Structure 1
Amino acid sequence: MKKISRRSFMAAAAVSVAALALTACGGSASSAASSVASSAASSEAASSAAAAELTTVEAGKLTMATNAAFPPYEMTTDAGEFEGIDVDTAKAIAEKLGLELQIDDMDFDAALLSVQQGKADIVMAGVTVTDERKAVMDFSDSYATGIQSIIVPNDSDIASPDDLAGKTIGTQRGTTGYIYCSDDFGDENVVAYDDGLTAVQALNNGQVDAVVIDNAPAQEFVAANPGLKVLDTSYAEEDYAIGMAKGSALEDAVNKALEELKADGTLQAIVDKYINAN
């Protein structure tokens, strides 16, 4: 089990500060506006130059592998578009790097393999940093905390993680929930499904006794399925980070972008957009 604390956030507004400084020193409104425009153009040029120096799977694009069945981190809207914490964060990173975001949706296992095989630049799908994964891919700095939670029927006799012993547990294939449960309770007691929704459907149908999955999607699934609840006691806490190929030249650039998004409050705003602190 891993535990991290959420990083602090600071506000920044460099362009506005620059414009204010010019007018305070006696510059005219038009000269201040010209300076801001010039600064914006310079920033755009710098982004373009930085993007040209980055080697990606497809020139000019940041290709993200994901499994868009993991709300609120990644999901598909009724219009068939992608949204969620990971999606918005990836868009913000791509913008910082002067690249266009390309999202490839696939099974979770396939998403992890995609970066290892050079088919995607990054994988973001609520990916937890583990020693096993660090052996085959590199990771960015952490950008979120993941909590493994337990979903059970309202009338279940399961009240804590210890009560999972001897029960049939549903998980999403390839996730840390699957790994932890297999280690703790034996492979024979764990059923792996392609996504969390299918695991929850199996729970509703009485095919499993509980589902172990990250807390944010657990809350979403329970809200959509009356008769189910999330236990108050969490199963594990862990780090979420962006996965990349071993030795990826993007790691420093991605970490720099993440640092800036944390510092200017963008990352926290994205999280707040999808997760109500209350």
Structure 2
Amino acid sequence: MKHKVRNLLTGIALIALTSAGYAAEFDLSPQQPGRLKAEPNAEAIAAIPADFKFAADGKFTVAVSPWDPPIATYATDGATVVGVDPDLASLIADSLGLELNLVATAWADWPLGVTSGKYDAVISNVTVTEERKERFDFSSYRQDVLGFYVRTDSPIQEINEPKDIAGLKVITGAGTNQEKIILEWDRLNQEAGLAPIEVQYYDDSAASTLAIQSGRADVEFNPNPTLSYSSAVTGDTRLVGVQSGGWPVKAEIAATTRKDSGLADAITIAINGLIESGLYAQTLERWNVSAEAVETSQTNPPGLPKT
């Protein structure tokens, strides 16, 4: 699942807007004064295999693909990568007693980089799949969540199941998991005698936003992080429901490491330590993605089935 959405805050270091009764703040400065720090986790450090060779001594080298906030994007200096995934990578590095070496990487390049040992891990919105598990190990840290967003004054209050979208005009991404889900929901509805939906596709977020605000569309169904970020910044939309990116199967986002390298268990322990300490929840809240929290990190959880 990958849906390109235009960067909403190019060149803006900090925006604070009031929406639905709360202030949303997003710091895109390279300094990141609000980034949290963690103490070394002795259990996680002990779980690092004695023969594991890090890409750089004393450092945790992590690949990340900067595409859009709040997951990962370039800061206002045009070079530093910031977002929820870089923040979590930093906390994991702290927990492992290592210095974070964050490397901006094209999405297509991370698999070879991880298998070759160029990167110790990739922490960049990678969904666990059974096919990927044949080549990589995983430590889950976020749910793969899709969100339903409507205009703030929309009469729609909840979308939790197929019947809730009957007769609506729905924006989604062409050729994506979310499109497959929404079309399957529509098929189920029509079998049940409910009104069909009208699916709409747009090339960029500006066009989608205009369609929602003008009433040409009722709801947008796309990856939750970017829609949540836009909602918090503009105050023009609100969340009315979420679904797993692998519906009806649960899908999770995970830190990805070389298969059988042994590092995954250490990272899983580190993430669970962050969950227990509260640093994990605070970090997700900082970037407005609390809806994607996992209760527990797992090593190699069930992935999306092969197609």
TM-score scaled by length of structure 2: 0.54
Name the residue aligned to 2:294.
none
Superposed, 1:245-264 pairs within 5 Å as 245-264=258-277
1:51 and 1:99 in contact (8 A); partners too = no
Aligned equivalent of 1:232, options 240, 260, 281: 240
Of 54, 60, 79 in structure 2, the residue corresponding to residue 56 of structure 1 is 54
Counterpart of 2:85 in structure 1 is 86
Whether 1:217 and 2:247 are equivalent positions in the alignment is: no
Q: Which residue of 2 aligns with 1:8?
A: none
Match of 2:146 in 1: 148
The CA RMSD over aligned residues, in Å, is: 4.4
8 A Cα contact 2:137 2:259, kept in partner: yes
Tell me the alpha carbon deviations over residues 98-127 of structure 1, each in whole angstroms, 9 at most, x when there is no partner: 322122223434335532454322111222
1:10 matched residue in structure 2: none
Kept after mapping to 1: 8 A contact 2:171/2:208: no
**1:243 and 2:231 aligned:** no
Gaps of 5+ in 2: 1-38, 185-198, 212-216, 246-250, 292-307
More divergent stretch after superposition (53-62 vs 162-171): 162-171
Equivalence for 1:200: 205
- Of 230-239 and 246-255, more deviation after overlay is shown by 230-239
Offset from partner CA, 1:238-277 (integer Å, 9 cap, x none): 3222111221231122122223222222222322333386
Unaligned runs of 5+ residues in structure 1 are: 1-39, 172-176
Distance 1:190 1:111 in 2: 32
Choose which of 164, 177, 182 in structure 2 pairs with 1:179.
Answer: 177
Q: CA deviation at 1:148?
A: 0.6
Q: Which among 164, 173, 194 is matched to residue 170 of structure 1?
A: 173
> What is the rounded CA distance, in whole Å, between the counterparts of 1:260 and 1:127 in structure 2?
21
Which string of whole-angstrom CA distances, capped at 9 and with x for unpartnered residues, describes residues 178-230 of structure 1? 235347649xx998x9xxxx742453587xx7864332321112445676x45
CA contact (8 A) 2:61 2:101 kept: yes
Q: CA deviation at 1:128?
A: 2.3
- The share of aligned pairs that are identical, in percent, is 27
TM-score (norm 1): 0.59
